[in-house]
Chains A and B, each alone.
Chain A
Amino acid sequence: MVQHDEAAYWKATLALIRNVLIVWFVVSYGFGILLAPMLNNIHLGGYPLGFWFANQGSMYIFVILIFVYAKLMGNIDKKFNVHEE
């Protein structure tokens, strides 16, 4: 593989990691902690919303994030032809 591709592959990888981390941060630290007092004015069933993100929502989203990352990362591997045979 030529040098150029390797740099582009790493750039694509870092961009994906950055995007996942933004969602990761917003649902846990954002909705679950910093904005929780505000979100608690909204209710999801019997749950105040900020409390729900801290106790339930962030964890569901973490699980989804890992599988989305694994899928997209697999696509990037194939696109740059660096996947395992």
Chain B
Amino acid sequence: MSLQATTYIFVGLSFALYIGIAIWARAGSTKEFYVAGGSVHPVLNGMATGADWMSAASFISMAGLISNMGYGGSLFLMGWTGGYVLLAMLLAPYLRKFGKFTVPQFFGTRYYSKAASGTAVACLLMASTTYIIGQMTGVGVAFSRFLGVSNATGIYIGMAIVFMYAVFGGMKGITYTQVAQYCVLILAYTIPAIFISLQLTGNPIPQLGLGSDMVAANVSLLHKLDLIVQDLGFAQYTTSTRLSTLNMFVYTVSLMIGTAGLPHVIVRFFTVPKVKDARSSAGWALVFIAILYTTAPAVAAMAKMNLLKTINPTIMAANSDIFAPDAQIVHADRPDWMSRWEVTGLLKFEDKNGDGRIQYYNDKSKDQAFQAKAAAAGWKGSELSVNADIIVLANPEIALLPNWVIALVAAGGLAAALSTAAGLLLAISSAISHDLLKEMFVPDLSEKAELLAGKIAMAFAIVVAGYLGLNPPGFAAGTVAIAFGLAASSIFPALMMGIFSKTMNKQGAIAGMLAGIGVTMFYVFAHKGIFFIKGTEFVDAIGGQNFFFGIEPNAFGTIGAIVNFAVAFAVKNMTPAVPQDIANMVEQVRIPRGAKAVDGAH
């Protein structure tokens, strides 16, 4: 059977499964639509959180970025898992005890004002929309390859499917659907990794294979990879930091605290039966997430090795001369997977020196000796551009694995992109229809009108995200990192202060959120364009790229969070103290006993 037919069958079967579950568990009331009735077992909740969490950024994009960045890419691995420790200890149990449905409702009560919940809704919308832009980038990659169309067409089709998907189910459908999606995506991620690890190292467990010796050679895989990337002028794989140690440090902090501030993740912990379950749910979620995250560095390193080996067939030999005239493959004889990806426009070959062969190397290397050799060999610049977001999907093709494995990965990529996009759309829809419209402007909104308003909000969000996804501010995982920075700089500090400070008042919290997200947006928009619209960057007018201690915009959430805390405490000291009943309430939130079933205005 052809690859295309196999792919259609795998994707079709997985979708039939999700839709079947969604129909079986169709949402009834508005309450069920958002939080699935508060009755989900911690292990299942952990799996569903895992599917919700592992989006196009984790599944499709992350390993590709690590593949390019080497050691520096580990900031994604630590950043997107370490936040769960914070979530489990600092937020989940207390928010569960608090007994509200959504983050803005918590803010409205704890900071005793509609202004506080309104500010939270605004920050949440900013972060969630940015997040969905990243998802749409990933959706575009997955659909363009799956249907063999251009990236833009892939995004349009993806927009339509994501919308139908989110409107159809609601959270209840989504919780059980997401358990199924988790199973599909984790198989799709690990099976090719196991095959490739076996091929390269003889060890079937990718986590161990990455630390093993190459098959039939007395050299470790990572050491060999270090050697071959340096042969081509790239930085040593296992030691290349991301820009600087400081940048890597704050980038990791930003992702961690952003994890603990993103509404679509937090809302999961409102839905467990008890405070005790809220603590262990975060642990289970991380177990299921870590299965993918500890596999990702192996996928990244092995894909890099296979890619370089495909283009430079002799590079693995101990004393190969990569500058020899016939060391690279001829473009006309390229493997099929390259031509398949060329259709999408995400893989491009440009024969700069007209020799018909593919030279792929670091043409910006600062190593003079390397550049001299490259020039002597007649190389006129790197001729292949490989979009980092295609690495994971192309990985089984590069390794020449059987068709069913390639088809499975396509199904997994689509599952990852759809599940998170749907979860985020629900967070956006509930924020607008419930927290903003019903709580603040139209208190007597009927349940039916509220659901309709939510669906209109979803449609609007997806059009905006799709439009910006056509010209994304970065690779999927990079854009998602910006969303984390926005959550880190606004929601996380205000939640923390709401639980751990009895004296934080509404003025302090609101001022802190606005200041935190304000400086972060300013720095990000300076680099990436105002509201991510290309051509409106103004970074050169205010100090040049990464002007603040060399910190890149994706990592700036940490600085925003520091500003948030500082402004909040300064304003608190200048404004009236928090009312006594609120201080008493904070004390009550700290002890588990007396936790009720979630109530709220739904």
Contact with A along B484-502 (1 / 0, CB 8 A): 0000000000000000000
Q: Tell whether, in the assembled complex, residue B222 and residue A83 are in contact, meaning their CB atoms are under 8 Å apart.
A: no
The segment out of B147-155, B343-351, B548-556, B586-594 that lies at the interface is B586-594
The reply to whether A55 and B297 form a contact with Cβ atoms under 8 Å apart is: yes
In the assembly, what is the distance between CA of A10 and CA of B212, in Å? 47
B interface residues, tally (CB under 8 Å): 48
**CB <8 Å contact, B290 and A62:** yes
Can you list, as one digit per residue, whether each of A27-66 has a CB less than 8 Å from chain B (1) or not (0)? 0110011101100100011111001101110111011011
Min CB distance B550 to A, Å, is: 15
In the complex the two chains form, what is the Cα distance from A69 to B93 in whole Å? Answer: 12
Instruction: Flag the segment in B271-279, B309-317, B398-406 that touches A.
Output: B271-279
Taking a contact as CB atoms under 8 Å apart, the answer to whether B71 and A54 are in contact is: yes
How far apart are A16's CB and chain B's nearest CB, in angstroms?
Answer: 8
Q: Known contacts A54-B78, A83-B592: does B211 contact A69 (CB below 8 Å)? A: no
**Cβ A69 vs Cβ B89 within 8 A:** yes
In the assembled complex, A82 has its CB within 8 A of some CB on chain B: yes
Q: Which residues of B contact A54 (CB under 8 A)?
A: 71, 74, 77-78
Also in contact, A65 and B211, with CB within 8 A (given A13-B590, A55-B74): no
CB-CB under 8 A for A47 and B71, given A20-B89, A32-B78, A59-B294: no
**How far, in angstroms, from A63 to B286 measured CA to CA in the complex?**
6
Q: By the criterion CB–CB under 8 Å, are A47 and B210 in contact?
A: yes
The answer to whether A28 and B222 touch across the interface, beta carbons within 8 angstroms, is no
Give the chain B neighbours of A70 by CB distance below 8 A: 88, 276, 279-280, 283
Secondary structure at chain B's binding surface: helix, strand, loop or mixed? Answer: helix
Residue B98 interfacial (CB < 8 Å): no
Classify chain A: how many residues form its interface, as a range.
35 or more
A46 x B282 contact (CB < 8 A) = no
Q: Any chain A CB within 8 A of the CB of B363?
A: no
Q: Which residues of A contact B592 (CB under 8 A)?
A: 77, 82-84
B287 beta carbon closer than 8 Å to chain A: yes
Q: Is B221 an interface residue (CB 8 A)?
A: yes
Q: Does B395 contact A (CB under 8 A)?
A: no
Contacts of B587 in A (CB 8 A): 6
**Beta-carbon contacts of A74-85 to B below 8 Å, as 1s and 0s?**
100100001111
Is B77's CB under 8 angstroms from A59's CB? yes
Q: Decide yes or no: A63 and B82 within 8 Å by CB, A40-B238, A83-B592, A84-B595 being known contacts.
A: no
Kindly state whether residue B342 has any CB partner on chain A within 8 Å. no
Residue of A9, A46, A54, A60 ringed by the most chain B CB atoms within 10 A: A46
Q: Which of B22-30, B245-253, B432-440 contacts A (4 or more CB under 8 A)?
A: B245-253
Q: A33-B245, A45-B212 are in contact. Are A84 and B293 (CB under 8 A)?
A: no
B89 partner residues in chain A, CB cutoff 8 A: 17, 20-21, 66, 69
Give bound CA distance, A62 to B283, whole Å.
9
Q: Are B283 and A9 in contact (CB under 8 A)?
A: no
Q: Which residues on the B side are within 8 Å of A29 (C-beta)?
A: 249, 252
Chain B residues whose C-beta falls within 8 Å of the C-beta of A46 in the assembled complex: 210-213, 220-223
B436 to chain A, nearest CB (A): 33
**B569 → A minimal CB distance (Å):** 19
- Taking a contact as CB atoms under 8 Å apart, the answer to whether B211 and A47 are in contact is yes
Verify if B81 is at the interface (C-beta below 8 Å from A). yes
- Taking the closest CB of chain B, its distance from the CB of A36, in whole angstroms, is 8
Query: CB-CB < 8 A to A13: which residues of B?
Result: 590
Query: Which B251-283 residues have C-beta < 8 A from chain A?
Result: 252, 274-276, 279-280, 282-283
State the 6 A-B residue pairs at the shortest beta-carbon distance, nearest first.
A46-B220, A54-B74, A66-B283, A45-B211, A47-B211, A70-B279
Question: 12 A-B Cβ contacts within 8 A?
Answer: A1-B591, A29-B252, A32-B78, A40-B239, A46-B210, A46-B220, A51-B239, A54-B77, A58-B77, A58-B81, A62-B82, A84-B594
